[in-house]
Amino acid sequence: MTPKKLGLHFPAEFALQEAMWLSWPHKEASWPGKIDSIYPVYAKFIGLIAEAQKVRINVADQVMKAFAEKHLIAVNGNLNNVEFYFNPTNDAWCRDHGPAFLINKNGKEPEKAIVDWGYNAWGNKYPPFDLDDVIPTLIGKHYNIPVFNPGIVMEGGSVEFNGAGTLLTSTACLLNPNRNPHLNQQQIEEYLMNYYGVEQILWVDEGIVGDDTDGHIDDTVRFVNEDTVLTVVEENKNDENYEILQHNLKQLKQMRLLNGKQLNIIELPMPDAVEYDEQRLPAAYANFYITNKYVIVPTYRSSKDDKALQIIQSCFKDREVIGIDSTEIICKLLGVNPEAEINPPHYTKKFKEVVKSAYSYSHDFNDFLFLLEENSREEPVMIYPNSYHLKDGASDLDDATVREVTIGLLDGPGGRFRPLQRMQIGRAHV
C-alpha cells in the first residue's frame, strides 16, 4: 500500500509546521578553514525559527550538543523550542537527507508517516553518506511513525509543492543519470505521485550555474501559495544564467494547474555573481525557508538584496521577510579551501607509501593518482578531514574515522591548492 492510497500527502512549505529538522554542521571538509565563520549565521537562523516553532537538530554526541547550545545562547535563541537528537550525520544538508513527513488529509490512520528516500549526496559527489541516508528511518523509529522506503534516490531540495496536488521539479536533477539511471521520466513521476501523494508533476529543465546538486528546484522556482510561484530570472543578458532562466520562465508560462489555471508567476532577480577562487557559486534568493513566523532569505552582499527581499515580502502578507547573509555558508567548494597554503608539499609516491601502510584503497583512487603523476608537472596532494592536510608519517592516517580525501594540485611548492577530485580511501587495516 502506497502513501497516496492511504490518503497521505506532502504539505506545502507555507503550511503551519510543528517543527523543522536540521543536522548540525560539523564536517570541516565542507567549509575548510572557515567552518567557524558559519556558526553565528547558522545559530541566528535557528534562533529566528525557534521563536514560533520547534527546531529539532541531529547531533553526534553530547559534545556537539553543548557546542550547538553555546552558539544558540550567544544569539539569545529560545532553547525551550530546540530539541537535540543523537543521530550522527556525515554532513549538514538535512533538507536533502532528512525525513519527508506526510500527513493524512482524510483524518484516518496513519495520521503521519515518513518517506525515507535513498540519498547519495547529489549523485555520489560527496561520499561517505551512509549516516545521512538512514536519518529518516531513525527519526521514524524514535517517534514510532510508519516509514516508507521507495528504494530510489530523491532529495528534499529537488521537489516543490503547492499543497493542492501539484509537485514541481527539474529534469536537470531528477533525470540525471547519477540518481536513478534505471528509471525514465514516466517511472519517476509514478514514484513521486505514489509516495508524495500528489496528482500532477510539472517540470522545468534547468538549474543555475554552479549548482552541485545538479539543478535543485529550491534554487529556481518556489510556490508561495497554491497557484503562485516565485521564479529567479537573470537581468543581465551577458550572464551565463540568462538563457537558462529564460528557458525555465517560458516553460512556467505554459504550465496549467489541476484546475486548469495558469500559474501566477512573479519574477525574482538573481544576485550579482558570487564567485570563489574563480568558480561560480549557486547563489539564489529562491533558496528561502518559510517558517510559521518568518520567511528567511539568503542574501549575498549584493546590490540586488533589498529588491529581492521586497519582492518576497509582497508575497507573504502574514509573515515577515528577513534576510540573512549567507555568503560564508555558500562558500563550500569541493571540500577544500582553495585559498589555503599547504606547506610543505607532499609527493604522490610518499602518499602511496603512507596510505598503503594504513589503508586498503580502491582501484579508482590508485588510477587517479597515477594519471596525475603521468600528466601533470605540478605536485599532487591530498587533503582529508580532521587533520586538514596529510602530514609526514603513517601514524597520521591511523584514525579510523578517515574515509575520504580530496586530491588536487599545488601551484608550486607551498603554493595554492586546486581541488580536482574527492575520493574514498577505503577501510583501515586492522
Divide the 430 residues of the chain into consecutive groups of 10 and give the mean pLDDT of each group. 96 97 93 88 98 98 96 97 97 98 89 97 92 98 98 98 98 95 97 98 95 95 98 96 97 98 98 84 96 98 97 97 94 42 34 43 56 56 43 38 55 52 49
| Pairing of β 166-170 and β 160-161 | antiparallel
Task: With CA atoms as reference, report the closest residue to 88 among 113, 105, 63.
Answer: 63
Residues 99 and 59 in one domain: yes
Residue with cell 596510505: 355
Is 170 contained in some domain?
yes
Statement to judge: residues 54 and 202 lie in one domain: yes
**35 and 151 part of one domain:** yes
Residue 206 and residue 147 share a domain: yes
Same domain, 93 and 28: yes
Is 134 inside any structural domain? yes
Q: How many whole angstroms separate alpha carbon 234 and alpha carbon 324?
A: 21
Same domain for 357 and 297 = no
Tell me the C-alpha distance between 56 and 99, whole Å. 12
Give pLDDT, residue 344: 30
- Inside any domain, residue 339: no
Instruction: Let me know whether 372 and 325 are in one domain.
Output: no
Q: Is residue 81 part of a domain?
A: yes
Q: Count of alpha carbons within 13 Å of 356, Cβ hemisphere only?
A: 8
DSSP conformation class of 100: E
Of 265, 298, 330, the one marking the end of a domain is: 330
**What global pTM score does this model have?**
0.78
Number of other residues whose CB lies within 10 A of the CB of residue 276? 16
Classify residue 130: in a domain, yes or no. yes
* Percentages (nearest 5) of helix, strand, coil residues in the chain: 30, 25, 45
What are the backbone angles phi and psi of residue 246, rounded to the nearest 5°? -65, -40
The reply to whether 254 and 385 lie within a common domain is no
Show which of 274, 300, 330 is a domain's final residue: 330
Secondary element (H or E) of residue 374: helix 363-375
> Where does a domain end: 330, 360, 386?
330
pLDDT at 366: 59
Range 102-106, long-range pairs (CB < 8 A, 24+ positions): 102/3, 102/8, 102/9, 102/10, 102/196, 102/197, 103/8, 103/9, 103/11, 104/6, 104/7, 104/8, 105/7, 105/8, 105/9, 105/197, 106/7
Counting the structural domains of the chain, the total is: 2
CATH number at residue 289: 3.75.10.10
> Based on the domain organization, do 133 and 251 belong to the same domain?
yes
Residue 247 parent element (H or E): helix 242-254
Asked if 298 and 324 count as a contact pair (C-beta separation under 8 A), the reply is: yes
Q: Give the list of residues 6+ apart from residue 36 with CB closer than 8 angstroms, or none.
A: none
246 and 391 share a domain? no
Q: What is the pLDDT of residue 428?
A: 43
Q: For residue 365, what are the domain limits?
A: 348-428
The pLDDT, as a whole number, for residue 355 is: 43
Nearest to 378 by CA among 343, 358, 348, 356: 348
Question: Do 311 and 387 fall within a single domain?
Answer: no
> Residue 340 domain-assigned?
no
Beta bridge partners of 406: 383, 422
Q: Is residue 371 part of a domain?
A: yes
Check residue 328 and give its pLDDT: 87
Rounded CA-CA distance 214/222 in Å is: 17
Q: Are residues 186 and 86 in the same domain?
A: yes
53 domain-assigned:
yes
pLDDT at 279: 78
